[in-house]
Structure 1
């Protein structure tokens, strides 16, 4: 989980951090204006997509939005500028994280360390598909005794249109074997319930092929 994500992260010493790109420019939107619950990044992104559509900041059907689940086989993904970090550069190693991408030219930055154990995989799900299909009963945030690891959002859990109450793991589970060829993914991202899984090398190529 990330600082607004899912499970506990590992915070290596600063000297062990993989090389990372320069800090991004300030976001154009005030995050405080959106519903946000720490450690529940998947639900935060779901509500963000809904709010962008409602506010007229996205296509009315969400066609310009993508939910992107980030993880890998090791469940160790490096991210920076995280509120939960104990280091100056905001570094945290999470098991997974979820982000919303709208303007891909601004969001996709050159990535390093793609061939290491920190190489990230990305499950890209088209916005309308994500909003119809995603569900979480928040059970991943309870310990074996049924106690909350982190307090849940105040609103009701998200239920998919087909009645599913929990399919979060279907989105965050991914391996290198799930990465397909670019041509098929350009089409499949709009039709597959779970989107497509892509690696760091192919990620910018995929978005360069999708309509802005």
Structure 2
């Protein structure tokens, strides 16, 4: 299960389709997968080694970012980031070191927070009618994916619940960078 298919241009929809792919092709493995939204209160999160980056370090300031984690055992966690310049997938230690680096070099306004949601829960609950992909006049910022929006009957659009980083609201659990590292990077002893 080292490679999965890639799909649309929308990050959260790509990850949703990746979760569907795992469920279809490796149904027993979805329990070992998580979806991680990276953001903060200011919606300014620096990530390095991003394809969209223009400088040598490939730095991008995203409003939010979404990655997929496959963690079948404590010493093995792979990160699938469709926007990364790193190998696909990348082991979590390399990904964290090169993509997030450390909070010590940042002003606190730019600290990254991580909403970790079990992949199965994400598949059941996520919904986006793509309103965030439109300009105020209703035209598309970029052409949408060719498939229908991902919506559920409970709510046509709950993307904001996943992006906001208030630990008392929304699905999953919100972690600091340190907590995220402690949760997903377990060096071999």
Fold conserved (TM > 0.5)?
Answer: yes
State the alpha-carbon separation in 1 of the partners of residues 170 and 121 from structure 2: 6
Q: Answer whether contact 1:130 1:193 (CA < 8 A) is retained.
A: no
Q: Does 2:123 correspond to 1:155? A: no
Which residue of structure 2 aligns with residue 95 of structure 1?
63
Q: Answer whether contact 2:16 2:123 (CA < 8 A) is retained.
A: yes
Q: How many residue pairs were aligned?
A: 161
Q: Answer whether contact 1:129 1:193 (CA < 8 A) is retained.
A: no
Q: Does 2:181 correspond to 1:204? A: yes
State the alpha-carbon separation in 1 of the partners of residues 70 and 170 from structure 2: 19
TM-score (structure 2 length as normaliser): 0.76
Q: Does 2:162 correspond to 1:171? A: yes
Which residue of structure 1 aligns with residue 45 of structure 2?
77
Q: Closer, same or farther in 2 for the Cα pair 1:113/1:61, shift >3 Å?
A: closer
More deviation, 162-171/41-50:
162-171
State the alpha-carbon separation in 2 of the partners of residues 153 and 93 from structure 1: 23
Show the 5 A alignment for 1:1-212: 28-29=2-3, 33-35=5-7, 37-38=8-9, 40-56=10-26, 59-60=27-28, 62-103=30-71, 104=77, 106-108=91-93, 109-110=96-97, 111-113=101-103, 116=107, 117-160=109-152, 162-175=153-166, 178=167, 194-207=171-184
CA shift, 1:204, in A, is 2.2
Cα RMSD (Å): 2.4
Please state which structure has a larger fraction of its residues in strand. 2
Q: Secondary structure at the match of 1:102?
A: strand
CA shift, 1:169, in A, is 0.5
CA shift, 1:66, in A, is 0.2
Q: Which runs of 4+ in 1 moved over 4 A?
A: none
Please state which structure has a larger fraction of its residues in helix. 2
The unaligned stretches of length 5 or more in structure 1 are 1-27, 180-191
